[in-house]
Every structure is written in C-alpha cells, then in structure tokens.
C-alpha cells in the first residue's frame, strides 16, 4: 500500500519489458515514493489508482534502469572535459588535437586523458613524444590509450619523472624504447605509474565537478546504477552528493585489492542494496589489455612471436594474489579480478576454485572483469563455479576490427563468448568500462546482438556464433548486473516493491531491425522514484 501522504504517479500506455518472469510484458507501472507500487495493464492500474498523477508514455518502451557493471566513474567525468582523441584517424590528427587542447590551457597545466586508439591508424607505429613535444611546450603530458593500459608522455613529463635510457622497466610494465634505447614516450601498464605518481592530485572541487558531470551524463543515457571499479577513496564524495540530492546514479564502489584491509575494517558485508552509495567489493588485476599487447595468453601474439603479454608481477609473487583473494573472501568482501587473456582467465578461475573449496560454501559471487578471451576448456567453469562474467560488449565491436591480427582466427573463437557462457549456465553482467568505451548501453546491446564491428567489415557478425538475443542483452544490463552486486531483490526488473529505477526509449529495440538498435534514444530516466532526465517536448 502507498503511504497516504505520498502521491502515486502512474506511467501508462507503455510497452514494458519487465525482466520479471512473473509478468514479462506490461502496459503500466505505479510508483509511490522511491518504490514500484504495482505493474499491470492500463485499465487495471487506472482503476486501482484513479487519483494518481498520470504520465502518458505514448506506446514507448519502458525498461528497468540500465545497471552498468563496470565503470571508472570520476575518470569518466573528467574525460568529458579532456581532449577527445578517440576518433583521430592518423598520428597527425592525434598531434593536432593535442596542440589545439594545449593552446587553451593555463601555463604549466598538465595534459591528461585523451583515450586515443592507434588501431585506427593501420600500419602506423605507436605515437612518440616527438609528435607532440613542440606543441606542448610548458605543459607536462600523459595521454592515455582508451583502455588505460598504455599512455604517451611528452619529454617534459619524462624528465619530471626521471625516466631516461637507464630507467629499468618496472615489474608488470614496459618503457617502450627506440632503436638507440631512448624512451619513445609510450609507457605500458605499471610503467605509467612512474609518471602518474608525480601528477598533482585532483582537488576536491575538481572531483566534485567531474562526479556531477558523470552523473548527469549517466542519467541522459538511462544508466541508473554503476559498479565503480575505481571508487577507492571517492566514496565519501559520492555519499555527500547523495545526501544533497545531487547524485542521479546508484554507485556500488570497489577498492583496490592491494588495500583490502581498509575496506574490511569498514564493513564485513556488502552494504544494503537499497542504498544509493554502497561499498563491499574489491578489485584486482591479473594482466593488461589486448590493444596494448599486455593481455596474458597461453601462446604468443600472432604479430609478436616473442610476447605472451604481462602477468601483473606485483599480484602474483609467492602466492600473493591467492592469499589476498582468500583473505577478502573470509572477510565477506566480494572479489572482482580483471582478466583478459586466456591464460590470465584460467589463473583466476583456478584461484577462485581453490578459495571456494578452502573457505566453504557461501553466496560469494566471485567476478571476472572482462572475461574477454577464454580457452574452450574454461567456458563451462563459469557456470560450474558460479563465477560471474562481467563483460563489455562494445569492446567486441571495437576489438573485432583488429583482433585477428593480434591473436589469430582460432583464438578469436573464444573472444567475448556471450552465448557459450549463457549456455554453460553463467551469469552475464554487462557494462561499458567507461571511460574506455562509451557509457551509452544501447550501442553495447547492439554489439552483443549483432557482433558487427565498428569498421563495417563484419555485417553478419564477428564470430556470429556468439550473438545473443535482445532480451538476453537487456537482461545482462539489468538483472544480470544487479545480481552481480547482490542487488537483484531491489532492482534490475520492473516488479512491485522494487526501487523505482527505469528508463523510457523512443523506439522499441525488441521490434526493430537489430542493425538499427543504436538509433534508439533515451527520452526519460527515473531513479529512486524521481525524474533525473527528460528530453523536452516528448512526453505528455
């Protein structure tokens, strides 16, 4: 029953795909406060709530709010203010973009962000500091490849960091060098830390502005919840903004596994699922990325026969990763480990299997973040071991443009194995990896359904055997990702009693040509029972 003092709002004349097996499809939803009061037909709910305020959705599609299972939230907010290098098609465009951005900055300001992708420059070597030194004079620079596993520093930044030809490669990282042994400016994985540690920390005001930008952006895309892989010490900021009513996004925060004891001291259980800001998760890394040639494989890269990738040394000596996972699990914390290469995925599955056996049965919900390239023998283990595959389908549309050059066609059969994982009984939780990929979940749904690549060269899908249905993809963006953070009883479906988080699209992606799914746009987002985004002039 609704509280008599609370106004009931009735959203009618909709096509509602509830993601709830009890109802499947409905026409109307009643909201009271921050909860869903009832779901049903137009006539039924109008009769039961005759005095309710009505919002006519004009036959449009209503879905549970999108729940992004893997983002870097504040970094994503900062990216909205950073130079946009993602779509530069040549090294020259890349350099010109940096130069244009540098001209707008005050003296001595760092140039950061960028999210460039050298795979869009076929046949071209990695960028070097020589490309940008002249145009960035007076500005130390570290611009990241979009996956975060490689960055380009200019000479000023290298000098400030003390990096020269005599600097050894750090554990788990690589300083790329030219034929003479001089650093080119490209730093891979942990080598980036040599520069990032000297970058002045962001101010509290800057972080607040970035978070507000991120939450506004998320609301405009129908994203009502995220798992923030980089929450770390930003949770108090999120909590402040939530208390002020300014946070439009539910946030489930993860801390680095290297500092798990700090989180264990704060909580021994996952926070209640109805809170807007929650903690309880630990994030670790096993390897790097495919684009940076640092993902860890059983066999060498096809285009680099002496390279199998990088296993993150700081995580594995003397069984440290096993010890940390075991301790986190004993403390009741959820464990999420980044694994991209097939060998890295097996290592983490082995660790999870051993820890579960040692610590005994419980609802632990181990996650592998990305689960990107899997050996055929390991796919069934996700279902058998109940390990959640936290995946990002937009990456398949991107990586599919060049993946075969890196690892060959045979290994690509195990890339982004959405359908095979579902058949094995695994839970799929979809996310974006924003800022690595766009936050918008609709192109990601299209990527999972069609597996068409961004270059247009796979119109029938790249590894089409792994295509899934629209319903399966939406479920992975809603119920799957809610389950992945212990919140399936509070959100993820349009069900009576659950939190009122939902999104309305201008087109029905269940009925349209799958190749056009990404033309659908968000016109209304409701989070915690309140409207947080509306496209003006669309809803009566």
Q: What is the pLDDT of residue 316?
A: 64
Q: What mean pLDDT do residues 285-313 have?
A: 91
H-helix or E-strand spanning residue 398: helix 393-399
Q: What is the pLDDT of residues 309-366, one digit of tens each?
A: 988 755 566 688 999 999 999 999 999 999 999 999 999 999 999 999 999 999 999 9
Residues 521 and 27: beta-carbon distance below 8 Å? no
The pLDDT of residue 147 is 80
Contact 181, 161 (CB under 8 A): no
Q: Are strands 250-256 and 25-26 parallel, antiparallel or unpaired?
A: unpaired
Provide CB contacts within 8 A for 460, sequence distance 6+.
none
Note the pLDDT of residue 198: 94
Closest by Cα among 339, 336, 257, 256 to 290:
339
Q: Examine the pLDDT at 451 and tell me if it is beyond 90.
A: yes
User: What is the predicted pLDDT for the residue at 232?
Assistant: 85
Instruction: Give residue 1's pLDDT.
Output: 44
| Mean pLDDT calculated for residue range 258-278 | 80
CA distance 58 to 479: 26
- pLDDT-derived band of residue 3, with 50, 70 and 90 as boundaries? low
pLDDT of 11 > 80? The answer is yes
Non-local CB neighbours of 481 within 8 Å, separated by 6+ positions:
67, 68, 69, 225, 227, 390, 429, 430, 431, 492
Q: Residue 181 has what DSSP assignment?
A: S
Whether 532 shows a pLDDT value over 90: the answer reads: yes
**What is the tens place of the pLDDT at every residue in 455-466?**
999 999 999 999
DSSP state of 123: T
When pLDDT is averaged across residues 172-196 and rounded to a whole number, the result is: 94
The single residue listed with the structure tokens 């009883």 is 489
Distance CA 16, CA 38 (A): 13
pLDDT level of residue 252 (50, 70, 90 thresholds): very high
Q: Which residues pair with 153 in a beta bridge?
A: 142
- 166/182 Cα distance (integer angstroms): 9
Predicted pLDDT of residue 315: 56
**Which of the four pLDDT bands, split at 50, 70 and 90, describes residue 424?**
very high
Q: What is the number of other CB atoms lying within 10 angstroms of the CB of residue 159? A: 12
Express each pLDDT in 57-102 by its tens digit. Answer: 999 999 999 999 999 999 999 889 888 888 898 999 999 999 999 9
Percent of the chain residues past pLDDT 70, beyond the cut? 97
Answer positive or negative: Cα dihedral of 383, 389, 394, 396. Answer: negative
Strand ranges inside 417-529, DSSP E: 428-430, 502-505, 522-527
CA-only gyration radius of the chain, Å: 23
- CB 302 within 8 Å of CB 335: no
Position 113 pLDDT exceeds 80:
yes
CA pair distance 474, 452, nearest whole angstrom: 17
The CA-atom distances, in angstroms, between 232 and each of 91, 102, 112, 271, 460 are 35, 30, 20, 15, 41
Is the Cα torsion angle 75, 80, 86, 88 positive or negative in sign? negative
- State residue 318's pLDDT score: 66
Question: In this structure, what is the dihedral angle of CA atoms 291, 282, 69, 211, given to the nearest 10 degrees?
Answer: -90
Taken as a whole, the chain contains a residue count of 540
- Mean pLDDT (the chain) is 93
């Amino acid at each position: 029953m609704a509280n008599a003092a609370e106004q009931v709002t009735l959203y009618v004349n909709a096509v509602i795909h509830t993601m709830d097996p009890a109802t499947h499809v409905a026409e109307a939803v009643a909201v009271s406060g921050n909860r869903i009061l009832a779901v049903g037909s137009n006539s039924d709910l109008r009769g039961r709530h005759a005095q309710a305020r009505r919002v006519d959705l004009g036959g449009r599609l209503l879905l549970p709010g999108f729940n992004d299972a893997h983002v870097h939230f504040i970094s994503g907010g900062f990216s909205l203010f950073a130079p946009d290098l993602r779509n530069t098609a040549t090294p020259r465009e890349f350099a010109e973009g940096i130069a244009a951005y540098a001209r707008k900055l005050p003296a001595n300001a760092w140039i950061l962000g960028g999210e460039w992708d050298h795979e869009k420059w076929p046949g071209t070597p990695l960028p070097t500091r020589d490309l940008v030194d002249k145009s960035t004079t007076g500005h130390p620079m570290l611009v990241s490849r979009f996956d975060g596993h490689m960055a380009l520093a200019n000479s000023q930044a290298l000098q400030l960091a003390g990096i020269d030809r005599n600097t050894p490669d750090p554990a788990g990282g690589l300083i790329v060098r030219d034929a003479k042994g001089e650093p080119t400016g490209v730093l891979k994985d942990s080598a980036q830390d040599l520069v990032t540690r000297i970058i002045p920390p962001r101010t509290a005001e800057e972080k607040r502005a970035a978070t507000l930008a991120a939450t506004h952006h998320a609301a405009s895309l129908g994203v009502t919840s995220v798992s923030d892989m980089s929450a770390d010490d930003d949770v108090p900021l999120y909590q402040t903004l939530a208390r002020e009513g300014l946070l439009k996004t539910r946030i489930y925060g993860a801390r680095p596994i290297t500092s798990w004891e700090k989180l264990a001291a704060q909580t021994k259980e996952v926070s209640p699922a109805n809170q807007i800001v929650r903690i309880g998760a630990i994030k670790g890394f096993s390897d790097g990325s495919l684009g940076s040639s640092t993902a860890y494989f059983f066999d060498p890269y096809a285009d680099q026969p002496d390279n199998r990738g990088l296993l993150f040394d700081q995580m594995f000596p003397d069984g440290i990763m096993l010890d940390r996972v075991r301790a986190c699990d004993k403390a009741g914390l959820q464990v999420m480990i980044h694994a991209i290469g097939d060998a890295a995925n097996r290592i983490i599955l082995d660790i999870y299997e051993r820890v579960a056996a040692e610590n005994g049965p419980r609802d632990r919900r181990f996650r592998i973040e990305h689960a990107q390239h899997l050996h055929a023998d390991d796919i069934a283990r996700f279902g058998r071991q109940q390990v959640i595959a936290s995946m990002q389908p937009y990456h398949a549309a991107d990586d599919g443009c060049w993946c075969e050059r890196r690892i060959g066609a045979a290994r690509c059969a195990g890339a982004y194995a959405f359908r095979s994982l579902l058949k094995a009984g695994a839970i799929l939780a979809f996310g974006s990896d924003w800022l690595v990929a766009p936050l918008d979940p609709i192109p990601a749904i299209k990527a999972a359904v069609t597996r068409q690549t961004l270059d247009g060269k796979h119109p029938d899908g790249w590894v089409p055997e792994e295509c899934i249905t629209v319903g399966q993809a939406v479920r992975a963006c809603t119920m799957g990702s809610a389950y992945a953070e212990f919140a399936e009883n509070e959100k993820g479906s349009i069900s009576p009693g659950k939190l009122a988080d939902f999104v309305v699209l201008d087109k029905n992606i269940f009925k349209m040509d799958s190749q056009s799914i990404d033309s659908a746009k968000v016109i209304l987002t409701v989070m915690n029972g309140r409207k947080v985004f509306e496209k003006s002039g669309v809803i009566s």
